[in-house]
A and B are shown apart, each in its own frame.
Chain A
Amino acid sequence: MKVARQNIHWENHQKHIPTVEEEGGRVWGCFRSCFLQSAAPYTEGIAYKILKNDLGIDLREAPGHTSCGAIGYHGDVTKLETQMVIAARNFSVAHYELGVDNLFSFCVTSFANYTEMIQLWQEDPQLREYTAKTLKETTGRDFWIPQVCGYPSVVHASDIFYANRHILAAKAKYSLKGIKAVDHIGCHYAKIFPGEVVGGCEFPRVLVGLLEAFGAEIVDYPERRHCCGMGFRNCAFPENRDYTASSVYKKLSSLKETHPDCDLILTNCPGCTVFLDAEQGTIKEVLGVEFNIPVMDYAQLTGLLLGYDPFKDCGFNAKVVPIEPLLDKIGIPYDKSKTPEERRRPF
């Protein structure tokens, strides 16, 4: 066999995520994303519908679980100690109140944050002891570490879509045959703990596997792994957001140069989903350059192909780049008697 870098990475970076047909894959505890529920709430909406209705997963979520606080961590208002105890609290709530062993998060930064805390506890008994003791003292709760297939870890929501991709593809009403697509993996999904990523950080399989299962042709481009520029304090404060727009410009210029016919970018990170789309508007306004590349997350794409409504279910009415040309190309119907504005403004 020809030894390409892909093979080497693939061998080193596999984790088992149970499908709904396996033990441990039918009940999941989940953590909400504070970024998604603020900036793209419809994405969690469609993910829920698919996980529950199409995959039949028993999703468990406690009212009392909180944000992991990692935006505050990477935004420098909390400490590592804080992150450890909050993670332990959320794990404890999920296990002792909801009876779940395996957990996933909708946010990639939560995924990285929880992975970091679990690995620190594994490596350093003192940190584990500190966390368990502080958790007990502040909340009265008991320490517990989540496991996926017996391995101390959590996974990301896109991992579950990936694991169940063939089941989803078999149910799909539409196919991506003839569609050229590329993934954009969230930095905090892949780059902090590449060993916890399906396929590693340079050649991750999580979204490419989903796209291929739906029949898409994958394209590659030089800046494929460049960050979208969300950058926490850089996107959060308008005076820093030239950082975000510049990163999007760098990426999309590279894509357009290499594959001007690429039809869509698939994401798994809340920040990328929002800013790769939104900054195309800024770039058009400031530089007069139009990319018009639809950006969507794994749940929105799966929703479209399963036959959910592009606007009411998948939320494409709040995006900057129009989705209709792609819907036409795939052959997904929508109400053409309405104007684009009418489709996007239901009230």
Chain B
Amino acid sequence: MGKLIEELKQDIQYQHGMNACLNCGICTAVCPAAEVYDYSPREVMNICHQEDEEALIELLKSDKIWYCGQCFSCTPRCPRGNSAARVILALRRLSIRYGYFAESEKGRQQLFAKRVFGENLLKRGLTLLATNITPQNFPELGEFWEYYFEHMKEMREWWGVPMDLENSPGSHRIIPEKDMEELRAIYKATGALELMEAIEKGMEKKLGSKEEVEKYWQTWLETGDSRNYQLKKEKEEDK
């Protein structure tokens, strides 16, 4: 048995998500991602079941494991008690640890997850910030959201949910520094920082340098679409 298969089988998410898949396809029938992407949780479960190291590596390098929306619609419907969404959690962490995530377009988006969710948690103790929900990135929220965004502080006071209060419970509060120190210590001790660092390193290896990673990040910040960044290989093919 291959090394990665062994490692996957050690993951508690894998142990809890994979019992014995009978390949009935109910998970795929109810999966929102299977509806819109070239994606099938049944296929993912099948590849894991085969315990074929090469097929697993190919899966970890592909877009497929990143299509799942983590809704867990597959989970209560499985007649054998499997959870494809849970298996996906294990596969994604394995893909990040080995840098395979950077081989796919959807996988490379982990840089945004790290720099938005991860950094928010480490800096503010909140996974999402009010300033993340910009009208530019969320145009579907409409013209009244634009108005709110321009008058954020006043609007939140008007609604009775003032923001950024210090040493106070409440919406979008400033979490005291001593609590933030505890949070950061937890992130370090439980390996979350290591996981985040693996994302930065994997991107650097794939794109060639730290400068290129910053270019990729800037492209996303400016255009909201990482596909506007051209990989070196793609650039050469264009020539």
Which of A32, A63, A227, A278 meets B32, CB within 8 Å?
A: A227
Residue pair A82, B187 in contact (C-beta under 8 Å): yes
CA distance A191 to B70 in the complex (A): 11
> Is B235 positioned at the interface, with any CB of A under 8 Å from its CB?
no
> Is A254 positioned at the interface, with any CB of B under 8 Å from its CB?
no
Residue pair B126, A233 in contact (C-beta under 8 Å): no
Interface string of B121-157 (1 = CB under 8 A from A): 1000111111011000110111011011001001110
CA distance A223 to B195 in the complex (A): 37
Q: A42-B159, A72-B118, A78-B195 are in contact. Are A37 and B130 (CB under 8 A)?
A: yes
Contacts of A229 in B (CB 8 A): 32, 69
Contacts of A347 in B (CB 8 A): 151, 154-155, 158
Interface string of B197-222 (1 = CB under 8 A from A): 00100000000000000000000100
**Residues of A near any B CB (own CB < 8 A):** 32, 34-35, 37-39, 41-42, 44-45, 48-49, 61-67, 69-82, 84-86, 89, 93, 112, 127, 134-135, 137-139, 141, 187-188, 190-192, 194, 201-202, 225-227, 229-234, 236-243, 245-247, 250, 274, 278-279, 281-282, 312-313, 315, 317-320, 344-347
Residue pair B185, A231 in contact (C-beta under 8 Å): no
A-B contact pairs, 23 of them (CB 8 A): A34-B126, A38-B129, A38-B172, A39-B133, A45-B171, A67-B121, A67-B127, A71-B127, A76-B93, A78-B190, A139-B186, A187-B71, A187-B73, A201-B76, A233-B106, A234-B33, A236-B116, A238-B137, A243-B37, A274-B141, A315-B159, A318-B144, A347-B154
Instruction: Determine the residue in chain B with the shortest Cβ distance to A315.
Output: B159
CA distance A312 to B144 in the complex (A): 14
Size of interface on B: residues with Cβ below 8 Å to A: 85
CA distance A346 to B160 in the complex (A): 14
CA distance A278 to B175 in the complex (A): 30
Residue pair B71, A63 in contact (C-beta under 8 Å): no
Ranked nearest first, the 9 interchain pairs of A and B with the lowest CB-CB distance are A231-B69, A64-B179, A61-B169, A66-B125, A138-B185, A81-B190, A227-B71, A82-B190, A74-B70
Contacts of B151 in A (CB 8 A): 347
